[in-house]
Chains A and B, each alone.
Chain A
Amino acid sequence: MIQLKVNGIQRSFDGDPQMPLLWYLRDELRLTGTKFGCGIALCGACTAHKNGEAIRSCVTPMSTLAGAEITTIEGLSENGLHPVQKAWIQVNVPQCGYCQPGQMMQAAALLKSKKNPSDADIDDAMSGNICRCGTYQRIRVAIKAAAEAQT
């Protein structure tokens, strides 16, 4: 039995300990904001936070999550919208939107460690997250807008 917190709620898991967090979130908890894109940590659509750090939930086995605090897009902000979400709306970032929860989770983690990220910081942090619609230009603008709003 693995005990963990997901979006502040205490959970216990007794299934296959090799099951990645992604499928626990999606198929068992029915938190479907975290997306399946590649299954091998190449696209970032499944990005969630473990103890505040961005992780790829598609390759994070449940066995590694005892005592962990997991945050998904559904729990990114406790009340209202997170500054990153506000910036995403303001800049009108999404096209199809499928990758955007992962993009926002990655961006939120970036802004926690770097209050005013440079272009190079943004490239470094965000290049693991693929957007096939090609919204990168707006993602960059939105991250800068969120950084500005935070200061």
Chain B
Amino acid sequence: MSAIENVSRRGFLKGLVAAGGLVLAVRFYPEIAGHERAPGSNQADLAKFHPNVFLGINPDGTVYIVAHRSEMGTTSRTSLPLVVADELDADWKRVKIEQAIGDPKYGSQNTDGSQSIRGFYDVMRMAGATGRLMLIQAAARQWGVDPAQCATEMHVVVHQATNRKLGYGELATAASKLPVPAIADIKLKPKSAWRYIGKGSPSYDLEALCTGKAVFGMDGQLDGMVYASIEHPPVLGGKVKSVDDQEALKVAGVRQTVQIDPYQPPPAFQPLGGIAVIADNTWAAFQGRKKLKIDWDNGANESYDSEAYKKELQETARKPAKVVRSEGDVDAAFAKGGKIIEADYYVPLLAHASMEPMVALAEFKDGRATIWAPTQNPQAVQDIVSQELHIAKENVICHVTLLGGGFGRKSKPDYVAEAAVLSKKLNKPVKVVWTREDDIKFDYYNAVAAMHMKAAMGEKGKPSAWLQRSVFPPITSIFDVNAVYGDPGHLQQGWTDIPYDLPNLRVENGAAKAHVRIGWLRSVANIYHAFAVQCFTDELAHASGRDAVDYQLDLLGKPRIVDLKNTNYPNYGAPYDVYPIDTARLINVMQMAAEKSGWGKRRLGKRAGLGFAAHRSFLTYVATVVEVEVDDQGEIKIPRVDTVVDAGLVVNPEATHAQFQGAAVFGTSVVKTGEITATKGAIDQSNFQDYPVARMNEAPYQTNVYLVESDAPPAGVGEPGVPPFVAALCNAIFAATGKRIRELPLSKNKLV
């Protein structure tokens, strides 16, 4: 029975995700009475009328909508169900959101890459519209009329000719007996009839978040659970040589210590290994850990020193490297002589530092692992826990709590695997709690990167040749110890996708070996690539005596679709014909940003300046103008930011504004203080005193966000704000002080 259920439900999703006019598989709806509730099943699964995995309606009229993506502050847990509710014509006040466990039947649950809306907008519309059509059919059958004569109003089906009405709850049982219609028979609402799409809604959890009732991973509790704090090897790949836990065991509340095996290379999402202190409460576990005496074998990465490594990267960036995109003949153009401008840029390792440190609760019992965790990817949790515990994936039930920030760190479930491993060893529920120090020292860092830029200046300063070369340890190194080159998925981020219309262009990538875990962090490679391209563009504009916006418009040339046929360019996984690099859209946001910010017209005080940058990432076009003031001590203030966004169709404008306001603050941290370094393979930083992030008195005072009205397919909003902000801020600092920022963070530069 459950096999049929799975097959048909999975069929629903496949029908929508795959191309072509596929038909929904025959629906299976569970009879509730006598039906044992499957582990992790939710109210939508159990509801009387359950036309697909995302939707359930009960006879009392309650609509359950499943949120299968993780909520870390981007409001996707609200915005996707809002799309279902719109197509269903449901009353949002009668909607209850159910958070999905990890299960491939939902499609990808990996909440990263700014792709929740773009990946599932169509699926959500179909999920709601299917329910709506079946409710109409059920009502029409009861009235003995043609369904075509019926329509819906909020939460009711109406027979217009006779003004008869039946509520969704009243129809749930009858609708549950109908076959699921074919996709071809389902009509989506016209835009004019949308209730919620494009209007948005505050977070479903808003009141819970404001009253302390919202449940994050840190808040997970089970009767009989113990707390664990883990001393990890200080150097990646290190192992315990010996441990003396005598003093630790004397701490009141400490029960025992447990050794966790080191990972087998490559690290991927495996636990790092180390010694876990098991205690009756978090504090006792932390205290016990401080008393451990461990002798480590640090392994090969002990030779890693970030200062020496930086020089290596910078030297590599000055030498010819692997060509990843080429137009025309750059060498011939450079050989012609004339004015050549070169510059080198550098961005260090960055840590995520989400406010909620890594934490997970696991209970291993009867061959099954049940997890409660703040994870961006519950399916990856299933994979790694199944691998570590040698159990089938189906026996890993991963409940997803709210996330106290994620920024990409919580896509990597090493910390969840730790809890599962410990629970199996101890045969009781275990909550693993990382300290802030653990979070900073054992991150998957955004790659350190060195970029070399070179241009031959032609007429009016427009480059006749352009060379850019970046060198960074790739994210793929966590899956392949030999990986040293950027993969196309990260080279596309602000590098191979450079949209300038230049006759001679070459994009290169040099090799770099990783000595720490590298991972994706909000905006990923776009941060360092856009920093180099957009700051270098500003340098060239200045060297040519031209306005920065006009100059960049000149480099873009006539509006066009950028031709990347000869480049390995994955376009964030989206089809290029649907989401091409359309420079008309880039030009539009640039011109709007200039206008909205009063570019070239604003009067600014002494040592104040405006900086401009524009960048497409995650399929969204953004242009940003930052105003900066620099005081006598070289401290910066950011009174105002104007950012214009073309993200295609925007489901939740309010939440989108919030994402771009937040991106400006995140970018401020990157520019001002973001820097992770290592000595003898161990990370130097530990907490907010040496890895500071922007506080209220440093953050932009006012970020104005303008969304371009668009019917283009939806694109990303969580990440695209950071890269242009970072570059625009650095360009503003130049405008204010005449000092070029080529190395981040700002503390490496003397401004006055």
Chain B residue at smallest Cβ distance from A87: B210
A86 to chain B, nearest CB (A): 9
Quick one: which of B203, B212, B284 contacts A34, CB cutoff 8 A? Answer: B212
Closest residue on chain A to residue B404 by CB atoms: A98
Q: A118 CB to closest chain B CB, in angstroms?
A: 13
Interface pick from B139-147, B458-466, B559-567, B698-706: B698-706
Given A28-B281, A96-B402, A136-B665, does the pair A37, B209 have CB atoms closer than 8 Å?
no
Digitize B247-287: 1 where CB-to-A-CB distance is under 8 Å, 0 elsewhere.
Answer: 00000110000000000000000000000000001111010
Q: Are B210 and A100 in contact (CB under 8 A)?
A: yes
CB-contacts of A109-133 with B (<8 A): 122-123, 126-133
Q: Are A100 and B209 CB-contacts (below 8 A) given A35-B355, A132-B355?
A: yes
Supposing A27-B227, A38-B436, A100-B209 touch, asked if A132 and B693 sit within 8 A by C-beta, the answer is yes
Interface string of B219-259 (1 = CB under 8 A from A): 10100000100000000000000000000000011000000
Instruction: Let me know if A27 and B281 touch, CB within 8 A.
Output: yes
The proximity string for B residues 631-672 relative to A, scoring 1 for CB distances below 8 Å and 0 otherwise, is 000000000000000000000001000110111111000000
Indicate the size class of the contact surface on chain B: 35 or more
Q: Taking the complex as formed, is B61 at the interface, i.e. its CB lies under 8 A from any CB of chain A? A: no
Residue contact B355 to A99, C-beta cutoff 8 Å: yes
Q: Return A61 CB to nearest CB of chain B, in Å.
A: 10
Q: How many angstroms between the C-alpha atoms of A67 and B460 in the bound complex?
A: 76
When chains A and B are docked, how far (Å) is the Cα of A20 from the Cα of B433? Answer: 16
Contact A94 B206 (CB under 8 A): yes
For B212, B282, B283, B703, which residue has the most chain A Cβ atoms within 10 angstroms? B212
Taking a contact as CB atoms under 8 Å apart, the answer to whether B436 and A127 are in contact is no
Q: A32-B219, A135-B658 are in contact. Are A130 and B700 (CB under 8 A)?
A: no
Q: How large is the interface on A (under 10, 10 to 19, 20 to 34, 35 or more residues)?
A: 35 or more
Label chain B's interface by main secondary structure: loop
User: Is A35 in contact with B203, judged by CB distance below 8 angstroms?
Assistant: no
Q: Is the beta-carbon distance between B356 and A98 smaller than 8 angstroms?
A: yes
Q: Is the CB of A43 within 8 A of B688?
A: yes
Which residue of chain A lies nearest to B721 when distances are taken between CB atoms in the complex?
A: A134
Cα distance A92–B75 in the bound complex, in angstroms: 11
Chain B: CB-nearest residue to A135: B662
Does A6 sit at the interface, judged by CB under 8 A? no
Interchain CB contact (< 8 A) of A130 among B73, B355, B661: B355
B163 at interface, CB cutoff 8 A:
no
Known contacts A38-B436, A73-B212, A89-B206; A131/B355 CB under 8 A: yes
Give Cα A128 to B221, complex, Å. 29
A96 and B404 contact, CB distance less than 8 A = yes
Cβ B661 vs Cβ A123 within 8 A: no
Q: Let me know if B697 is at the binding interface, CB within 8 A.
A: yes
Residue in A closest to B203 when the chains form the complex, CB atoms: A94
Report if A98-B665 is in contact (Cβ < 8 Å); known contacts: A132-B355, A132-B407: no
Contact status A33-B212, CB under 8 Å: yes
Does B202 interact with chain A (Cβ within 8 Å)? yes
Determine the distance from Cα of A28 to Cα of B653 in the docked complex, in whole angstroms: 41
> Closest CB-CB distance, A145 to chain B, in whole Å?
13
Minimum distance in angstroms from A109 CB to a CB of chain B: 15
Q: Is the CB of B663 within 8 A of A134?
A: yes
User: Given that A133-B73, A134-B661, A137-B699 are known contacts, is A98 also in contact with B216, CB under 8 Å in the complex?
Assistant: yes
Q: What residues on B are CB-neighbors of A98 within 8 Å? A: 216, 218, 354-356, 402, 404-405
A52 contacts partner chain B, Cβ-Cβ < 8 Å: no
Which residues of B are found within 8 Å of A85, using beta-carbon distances? 210-211
Residues of B within 8 A of A26 (CB): 219, 282
Within 8 A of B (CB), among A48-70: none
- The reply on A147 being an interface residue by CB < 8 A is no
The answer on a CB contact under 8 Å between A37 and B252 is no
CA distance A115 to B221 in the complex (A): 39
> Across the two chains, which residue of chain B brings its CB closest to A120?
B697
Candidates B283, B284, B689; contact of A42 at CB < 8 Å: B689
CB within 8 Å for A132 and B214 given contacts A96-B402, A126-B696, A137-B701 = no
- 5 nearest CB pairs, A to B: A33-B212, A134-B665, A98-B404, A95-B73, A96-B73
Show 25 residue pairs from A and B whose CB-CB distance is below 8 angstroms, ordered by the A residue.
A23-B281, A26-B282, A27-B283, A32-B215, A33-B212, A35-B216, A35-B355, A38-B436, A42-B688, A42-B689, A81-B210, A94-B206, A96-B354, A96-B356, A96-B405, A97-B203, A97-B209, A97-B214, A128-B695, A131-B665, A132-B353, A133-B73, A136-B699, A137-B699, A140-B696
B interface residue numbers (CB < 8 A to A): 71-75, 202-203, 205-207, 209-216, 218-219, 221, 227, 252-253, 281-284, 286, 353-357, 402-407, 433, 435-436, 654, 658-659, 661-666, 687-689, 693-703
